């Protein structure tokens, strides 16, 4: 069982993703912002972070920048309502394992996460 942290400022989106991942057998935590996520990760490492790209205070890119300085950083998958080439290039340059357009289909999210976790083993 993998531990996954969800970061999204929209509580409905967080809950929806949480339910999908719990049903898929993962241990899931969720928070509403990057700063809170970094605190959680300092005390409880995750195998994967699924984060919204655009949030009010700090973005998914800010998260990736902060994790670059960590010894044991989790893989990061970004979700965005506005996926374009520039978004993807920025995310991949900072170490994201993927960028998926919102709204994301349940099975596409699970498949992508399973592939990322298998590659990490």
pLDDT digits (tens, 9 = 90+) for 32-91: 999 999 999 999 999 999 999 999 999 999 999 999 988 889 999 999 998 889 989 999
> What's this model's pTM, rounded to 2 decimal places?
0.95
Edge to edge, the sheet with strand 3-7 lists: 27-31, 3-7, 48-52, 75-80, 98-101
Structural domains present in the chain: 3-120 (3.40.50.2300)
Rounded to 10 deg, the angle between the 34-43 and 60-67 helix axes is 30
Residue 49, classed as helix, strand or coil, is strand
């Amino acid at each position: 069982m993998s531990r996954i942290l969800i970061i999204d400022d929209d509580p409905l989106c967080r809950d929806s993703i949480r339910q999908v991942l719990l049903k898929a057998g993962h241990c899931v935590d969720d928070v509403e912002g990057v700063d809170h996520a970094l605190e959680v990760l300092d005390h409880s490492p995750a195998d994967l972070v699924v984060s919204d790209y655009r949030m009010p205070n700090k973005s998914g890119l800010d998260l990736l920048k902060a994790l670059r300085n960590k010894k044991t950083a989790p893989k990061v998958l970004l979700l965005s309502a506005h996926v374009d080439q520039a978004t993807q290039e920025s995310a991949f340059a900072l170490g994201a394992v993927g960028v998926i357009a919102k709204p994301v289909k349940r099975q596409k999210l699970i498949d992508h996460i399973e592939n990322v976790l298998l590659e990490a083993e």
